[in-house]
Structure 1
Amino acid sequence: MTRVTLVAGGNSVHSRLTGVLQHVQRSLEAGGAELNVIQVHQLPSKALLTADFSNKNMKEAIERVEASDGVVFLSPVYKAAYSGILKTFLDMLPQKSLTGKPVLPLILGGTNAHLLVLDYALKPVIHNLGATAVHTGVFVLDKQVTKLEENQYVLDSEAVTRLNNALALYKSSLGGKMDVYHTQYS
């Protein structure tokens, strides 16, 4: 079974980023993937801030990334870049931990002015960690994700289409081990 780790760099599980994460989860699970989700903000803050590689939870999170066949990184935009909490986690990953793994970056932002966060902020770090198969990624606008009730979100059709197209390419890069599945709405 294909193992994919989703690394969410938001500061809450009750945010629009969760709507994007849920859409990705449903699509990858429907394709047959075994998923691991790492909500970085739920890792021990002291271990993150002090780069405590001996911390059990940090070791386990890093091992999950290294054992994965593929990785998806999700982050909101903060100050024209991906989140600092995601950067802190990325800094703890071993230098070549993404070698041979397809990586899909996904960014959620308030304006198209931050579209280049994917190419000029997040992708260089992902490449530095050894990834050679980094997908184009998707930038989703905040306004394209609507919160219905606690932990239930709906994405607009344009965001769904772009995410589904990116996910279809991503699944095919995992060695044809997954079924391509399109989720209509999140």
Structure 2
Amino acid sequence: MSDIVVLSGSPSEFSRSDSVLKYLGTLLKREHFTVTHISIKDLPHEDIFQGKFDSPAIQDIARLIQNAKGFIVGSPVYKGAYSGVLKALLDIFPQDVLKHTPVLPIMTGGSPSHLLAIEYTLKPVLATLKGHNLKGLYLLDSQIDKYKEQPIIDDDILHRTKKQLQYFIEIVNNQASHVV
């Protein structure tokens, strides 16, 4: 079982979203969490696009998420929303896959005008899956250098990101201490 599951919804080979998510995974490992990083691009495309909710690969991922103490999901903004391939995957998960699970949603985009995409597109679908949404993070592409080990290059955003991650950790630990 993995303490935290991190899901990247970016289909790009070299993605800013993915680099930020991997960085957060590294920070979580330093806090002694086990982290499983899943990238949408590594999943069986046929299963996702044909809606095969009963495929072994999809069921394994759903089970991994259901058993996790926390879930982080990220995507670039495409046409004012998260990636379509992420939507296709989320659509075939069980309705309560995130039940009682703290969720940290993250989106990256080229413009501040897409800031509300996280509120109006990603968070509602995560709530439908019964996730406990945290505030979430929106990072501009200009604040990320995807080729660096620590990809967040804006100090204010880095501070805010670490603060949100710390809050996520507190929620995960608090929730874990109440499980009988």
Q: Give yes or no for TM over 0.5.
A: yes
**Aligned ranges for residues 139-178 of structure 1 at < 5 Å?**
139-148=138-147, 152=149, 154-156=151-153, 157-176=155-174
Report 1 or 2 for greater relative contact order, CA contacts < 8 Å, sequence distance ≥ 6: 1
**Aligned ranges for residues 1-186 of structure 1 at < 5 Å?**
3-131=3-131, 133-148=132-147, 152=149, 154-156=151-153, 157-176=155-174
- Which residue identity does 1:84 align to in structure 2? G
**How many aligned residue pairs are there?**
175
C-alpha contact (below 8 Å) 2:23/2:150 kept by paired residues: no
Question: Given the superposition, is the C-alpha separation of residues 115 and 49 from structure 1 closer, same or farther in structure 2, using an over 3 Å criterion?
Answer: same
- Which residue identity does 2:36 align to in structure 1? N
Distance 1:148 1:175 in 2: 31
Cα RMSD, aligned residues only: 1.9
Structure 1 stretches of at least 4 aligned residues deviating more than 6 Å after TM superposition? none
Distance 1:164 1:62 in 2: 27
- Which residue identity does 1:158 align to in structure 2? D
> Alpha-carbon deviation of 1:31?
1.1
Question: Given the superposition, is the C-alpha separation of residues 64 and 13 from structure 1 closer, same or farther in structure 2, using an over 3 Å criterion?
Answer: farther
**Correspondence for 1:182:** none
Distance 1:94 1:166 in 2: 27
C-alpha contact (below 8 Å) 1:16/1:153 kept by paired residues: no
Question: Given the superposition, is the C-alpha separation of residues 40 and 89 from structure 1 closer, same or farther in structure 2, using an over 3 Å criterion?
Answer: same
Unaligned runs of at least 5 residues, structure 2? none
Question: Given the superposition, is the C-alpha separation of residues 93 and 27 from structure 1 closer, same or farther in structure 2, using an over 3 Å criterion?
Answer: same
Question: Given the superposition, is the C-alpha separation of residues 115 and 135 from structure 1 closer, same or farther in structure 2, using an over 3 Å criterion?
Answer: same
Structure with the higher fraction of residues in helix conformation: 2
- Residue by residue over 1:152-180, the C-alpha shift from the partner in whole angstroms, topping out at 9 and shown as x without a partner, is 563112221111010010000012489xx
Structure with the higher fraction of residues in strand conformation: 1
Distance 1:2 1:46 in 2: 26
Is the deviation greater in 33-42 or in 105-114? 33-42
Unaligned runs of at least 5 residues, structure 1? 179-186
Identity %: 29
C-alpha contact (below 8 Å) 2:5/2:71 kept by paired residues: yes
Distance 1:93 1:177 in 2: 23
Question: Given the superposition, is the C-alpha separation of residues 126 and 15 from structure 1 closer, same or farther in structure 2, using an over 3 Å criterion?
Answer: same
Question: SS state of the match for residue 146, structure 1?
Answer: coil
Distance 2:150 2:173 in 1: 31
> Alpha-carbon deviation of 1:53?
2.3
> Alpha-carbon deviation of 1:121?
0.6
C-alpha contact (below 8 Å) 1:80/1:114 kept by paired residues: yes
